[in-house]
């Protein structure tokens, strides 16, 4: 089992809905990440939080809004998504620093109707 917990595991939502993805880790990691993985493609980095501050935003549309309320939690708020946003959303965490391996959650499989 992974030490990074993501909820929900599956989410189906309409284009006008607002929903949130949640990620939790208790390894004491101070860096947390959101990735998007389309079918048969590698994960693509979306956001990086370091010490609860957003440090990297890889030009992600504003309909995705990350939040890091404390050092153990990472949220991804979703609003007005498009069908092409359907994907597996992965959360990861690591110790801060250049060469720290990232620990991944199982992901949330998101489908936009």
Partner 1 sequence: AQSVSQHNHHVILSEAASLELGCNYSYGGTVNLFWYVQYPGQHLQLLLKYFSGDPLVKGIKGFEAEFIKSKFSFNLRKPSVQWSDTAEYFCAVSPNNAGNMLTFGGGTRLMVKP
CB 103 within 8 Å of CB 94: yes
Question: Rounded to an integer, what is the distance from CA 14 to the centroid of its chain?
Answer: 19
Q: Shortest Cβ distance from residue 17 to partner 1 (Å)?
A: 26
CB 12 within 8 Å of CB 72: no
Q: Which is nearer to partner 1, 43 or 66 (CB)?
A: 43
Q: Shortest Cβ distance from residue 51 to partner 1 (Å)?
A: 12
Binding interface with partner 1 (CB under 8 A): 2, 4, 31, 33, 40-45, 48, 50, 55-56, 90, 92, 94, 96-107
Q: Which is nearer to partner 1, 3 or 14 (CB)?
A: 3
Q: Shortest Cβ distance from residue 74 to partner 1 (Å)?
A: 15
List, in sequence order, every beta strand (DSSP E) within 28-107. 31-37, 44-50, 53-57, 64-70, 73-79, 87-94, 103-104
Q: Which is nearer to partner 1, 5 or 20 (CB)?
A: 5
């Amino acid at each position: 089992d992974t030490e990074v917990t993501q909820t929900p595991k599956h989410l189906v939502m309409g284009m006008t809905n607002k929903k949130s993805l949640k990620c939790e880790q208790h390894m004491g990691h101070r860096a947390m990440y959101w990735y998007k993985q389309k079918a048969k493609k590698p994960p693509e980095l979306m956001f990086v939080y370091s010490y609860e501050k957003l440090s990297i935003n890889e030009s992600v549309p504003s309909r995705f809004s990350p939040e890091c309320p404390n050092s153990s939690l990472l949220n991804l708020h979703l609003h007005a998504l498009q069908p092409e946003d359907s994907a597996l959303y992965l959360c990861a965490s690591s110790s801060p620093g250049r060469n720290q391996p990232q620990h991944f959650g199982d992901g949330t499989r998101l489908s936009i109707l």
